[in-house]
């Protein structure tokens, strides 16, 4: 061990510098300073979740396990008030989501619709018109089963 230290000294930068008979100029590369480019996920089949209420429309595109690839809403596209729940706004939202999801190469979607708003059909048509193959359409609107317990009758 003491012979190796006498032949080579290591300076603070991480270079091995030769002191006597052996010539060693080996630099340790700083791998931590370089960024390794992360590869994009290639998802060919996904799910489109469309939530249409009376006040807003929200569309989320996920992979088959539920990991979000992209989302958009009428409010994020600067629609205000009653215009947020229109079919035109739903078509614009789909165009925005498709722009975000384009890098993942999604071609087929299963559509899950929730809510009673007017943008339901327009959003599904917009997916079909923009080159997506719609595999299935499922309505996930919650239906109350007899609802909450009613108030007690008022005594007069």
* Residue 26: predicted pLDDT: 47
* Residue 147: predicted pLDDT: 87
CA dist 66 and 112 (Å) reads 12
For the record, the structure tokens of 141 come out as 């609107």
* Residue 25: predicted pLDDT: 46
Q: Are 126 and 100 in contact (CB under 8 A)?
A: no
- Closest residue by Cα to residue 51 from 21, 85, 26, 28: 85
For the record, the structure tokens of 37 come out as 């480019």
As annotated, the residues of the chain forming the CATH 3.30.420.80 domain(s) are 45-139
* Residue 156: predicted pLDDT: 87
Which pLDDT tens digit goes with each residue over 97-120? 999 998 999 999 999 999 998 999
CA dist 142 and 145 (Å) reads 9
Per-residue tens of pLDDT for the chain, all 156 residues: 555 554 555 555 555 555 555 444 444 444 555 666 555 678 889 999 999 999 999 999 999 999 999 999 999 999 999 999 999 999 999 999 999 998 999 999 999 999 998 999 999 999 999 999 999 999 999 998 988 899 999 998
Helix residue spans in the chain (DSSP H): 2-7, 87-101, 120-129
Q: What is the pTM of this model?
A: 0.69
* Residue 10: predicted pLDDT: 55
Q: Are 134 and 124 in contact (CB under 8 A)?
A: yes
Q: Could you tell me the fold of the domain covering 45-139? A: Nucleotidyltransferase; domain 5 (3.30.420)
Residues 6+ apart with CB under 8 A from 8: 16, 17, 18, 19, 22, 24
Give the side-chain half-sphere CA count within 13 A for 138. 10
* Residue 144: predicted pLDDT: 86
* Residue 41: predicted pLDDT: 73
For the record, the structure tokens of 83 come out as 């215009």
């Amino acid at each position: 061990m003491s012979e190796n230290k006498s032949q080579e000294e290591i300076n603070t930068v991480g270079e091995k510098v030769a002191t006597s008979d052996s010539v060693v100029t080996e630099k340790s590369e700083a791998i931590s300073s370089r960024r390794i480019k992360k590869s994009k996920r290639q998802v060919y089949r996904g799910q489109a979740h469309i939530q249409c209420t009376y006040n807003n429309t929200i569309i989320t595109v996920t992979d088959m396990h539920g990991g979000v690839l992209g989302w958009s809403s009428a409010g994020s596209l600067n629609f205000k008030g009653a215009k947020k729940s229109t079919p035109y706004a739903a078509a614009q939202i789909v165009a925005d989501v498709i722009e975000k999801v384009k890098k993942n190469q999604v071609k087929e979607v299963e559509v899950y619709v929730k809510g009673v708003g007017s943008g339901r059909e327009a959003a599904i048509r917009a997916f079909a018109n923009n080159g997506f193959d719609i595999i299935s359409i499922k309505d996930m609107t919650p239906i109350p089963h007899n609802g909450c317990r009613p108030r007690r009758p008022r005594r007069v």
